[in-house]
Chain A
Amino acid sequence: AQKVTQAQTEISVVEKEDVTLDCVYETRDTTYYLFWYKQPPSGELVFLIRRNSFDEQNEISGRYSWNFQKSTSSFNFTITASQVVDSAVYFCALSGGGNNRKLIWGLGTSLAVNP
């Protein structure tokens, strides 16, 4: 069975601090896809990144970076120099490589960035 675990329920930081959100996944598929989404208070899920299981390159996009490690089944997300606008709930999700497109979600990490 597939499973995504986000152990951190809530994180509170002061602006300009770096923060890392953890995501651990379980799957028996050899091909799978990992995602991070952001959900601000408005409720809409905003896509941040997609990573394929066969591509372990880490990625940096502005203040955001992602560390994908198959050996530990982890796909962690780091925000550098956090800003108040980063306050949101962040979800990690997993989908399999077959015909089933459903996303399996973690319970989310609520990030509060305080001025």
Chain B
Amino acid sequence: KAGVTQTPRYLIKTRGQQVTLSCSPISGHRSVSWYQQTPGQGLQFLFEYFSETQRNKGNFPGRFSGRQFSNSRSEMNVSTLELGDSALYLCASSLRNPRTDTQYFGPGTRLTVL
């Protein structure tokens, strides 16, 4: 079974631009969560999508948004990029079964904002 895939793997953008990251979950997984990883803040939860609906949201500004499609693939968008948005963005998928739920992660997209 293929794992979680994320594209692109690397991105370089300049301040003020916007960016879209893509995540394809493990087949059969309908929940997709996004996390930001930086050296200063560590791993922080951005949001979770399930059945095309945002279920939970972390403490990030409105410039960070996402969506999920009917095939469970998810995209994350960051508008008006700031230098501090430089990070590794990780996507995770799960079955969202309360008693056995485990999030499996993709390789991440490394975003550099210049």
Contacts and interface: CB of A to CB of B under 8 A. Distances in A.
Interface residues of A, number: 25
Contact of A99 (B55, B58, B99, B110): B55
Given A91-B43, A108-B42, A43 B108 contact: yes
Interface in A81-115: 91, 93, 95, 97, 99-108
A45 interface: yes
B33 A102 contact: yes
Interface in B55-90: 55-56, 58, 88, 90
Given A44-B108, A108-B42, A101 B99 contact: no
Contact of B58 (A42, A102, A106): A102
Nearest to A95: B101
B56 A44 contact: no
A52 interface: yes
Contact of A101 (B88, B103, B104, B107): B103
A47 B93 CA distance: 12
A101 B102 contact: no
Nearest to A105: B43
Closest 7 pairs between A and B when the two form their complex, measured CB to CB: A45-B105, A102-B45, A105-B43, A44-B107, A107-B42, A43-B108, A100-B56
